[in-house]
C-alpha cells in the first residue's frame, strides 16, 4: 500500500484534487481528511470541557458542540489560542490517522492511503508517507477563491494566511506539485497523470 500526503494552503484546491484522485482510484484508495476529522471532533462534544476551560462558555453551544465561528475569530487573531486549540486536536487526529492507516494495510484490496493534511509542513507530526504532493496556486488566486467560497472578510483571509507557511516554501519541499492556477479541466488532467504515475507506474 502506498501512502500519499496531500497538502497546500487554504483554498488551493486540495479537496477538489483529492476528490478526483479518489474517484480515479476507487475502490482501492482510502482517505483520511484532517479537516473533516477535526470537524467531527469539534461536533462530537468530546472536547466540550476542554474548550470551555480554554476559551470560555461561548466556545460551545448548548449541546457541547464547538462554535466554529467563535473559534475562528479567536484563534486566527491570537496565536496563543491557536496553539492551545491545535494542542487539543492535533494529537487525536494523528492517532486516528495512524490507526486508520494500519487498518487499511490489513486490507489486501486497498493499494493507496491518501492523507489530506493542510498543516503538514507547519507541524511536526509524521505519517510515514511515500510522497508529499502540494496543491498550489498564487496567493492572489488563493485569496480570490477563499473569498468566493467562504465569504470571509479581507482581514480574516489575511489572518488565516498569516497562520500558514507561504505556499511557495511548500512547493519547494514537495515531491510532486499540482499547480491549480488554471481551469478545473487542467486540474483534472494533472490529477489524472499524477494518479497514473504515482499509483500505477
Ligand X SMILES: CC(C)(COP(=O)(O)OP(=O)(O)OC[C@H]1O[C@@H](n2cnc3c(N)ncnc32)[C@H](O)[C@@H]1O)[C@@H](O)C(=O)NCCC(=O)NCCS
Binding site as annotated, residues for ATP: 11-16
Exposed e or buried b for every residue in 142-175, given b needs 16+ CB within 10 A? Answer: bbebbeeeeebeeebbebbbebbeebeebeeebe
Q: Based on CB atoms, which residue is closest to ligand X, 38 or 137?
A: 38
- Contact between 119 and ligand X by CB under 6 A: the answer reads yes
Q: Which one, 27 or 183, has the nearer CB to ligand ATP?
A: 183
- Closest CB 141 distance from ligand X, rounded Å: 15
| Contact between residue 122 and residue 160 where contact means Cβ atoms under 8 Å apart | no
Nearer residue to ligand X within complex by CB, 5 or 29: 5
Distance CA 29, CA 104 (A): 9
Query: Cβ(65)–Cβ(148) under 8 Å?
Result: no
Distance CA 43, CA 91 (A): 17
Q: Which of residues 85-104 bind ligand X (CB under 6 A)?
A: 85-86, 89, 93
Interface positions with ligand ATP (CB under 6 A): 8, 10-16, 35, 118, 145, 149, 180, 183-184, 187
Interface contacts to ligand X, rule CB under 6 A: 10, 34-35, 38-39, 42, 68, 71-72, 75, 82, 85-86, 89, 93, 118-119, 160, 163-164
Amino acid at each position: 500500500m502506498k501512502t500519499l500526503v496531500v497538502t497546500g494552503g487554504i483554498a488551493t484546491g486540495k479537496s477538489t484534487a483529492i476528490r478526483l484522485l479518489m474517484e480515479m482510484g476507487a475502490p482501492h484508495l482510502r482517505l483520511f481528511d484532517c479537516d473533516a476529522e477535526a470537524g467531527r471532533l469539534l461536533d462530537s462534544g468530546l472536547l466540550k470541557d476542554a474548550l470551555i476551560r480554554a476559551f470560555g462558555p461561548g466556545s460551545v453551544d448548548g449541546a457541547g458542540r464547538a462554535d466554529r465561528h467563535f473559534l475562528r475569530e479567536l484563534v486566527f487573531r491570537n496565536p496563543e489560542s491557536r496553539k492551545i486549540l491545535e494542542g487539543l486536536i492535533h494529537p487525536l487526529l494523528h492517532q486516528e490517522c495512524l490507526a486508520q492507516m494500519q487498518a487499511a494495510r490489513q486490507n489486501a484490496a486497498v493499494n493507496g492511503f491518501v492523507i489530506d493534511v493542510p498543516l503538514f509542513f507547519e507541524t511536526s507530526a509524521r505519517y510515514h508517507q511515500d510522497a508529499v504532493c502540494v496543491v498550489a496556486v498564487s496567493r492572489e488566486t488563493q485569496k480570490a477563491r477563499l473569498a468566493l467560497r467562504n465569504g470571509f472578510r479581507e482581514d480574516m483571509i489575511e489572518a488565516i494566511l498569516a497562520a500558514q507557511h507561504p505556499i511557495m516554501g511548500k512547493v519547494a519541499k514537495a515531491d510532486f506539485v499540482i499547480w491549480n492556477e488554471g481551469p478545473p479541466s487542467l486540474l483534472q488532467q494533472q490529477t489524472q497523470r499524477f494518479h497514473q504515475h504515482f499509483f500505477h507506474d
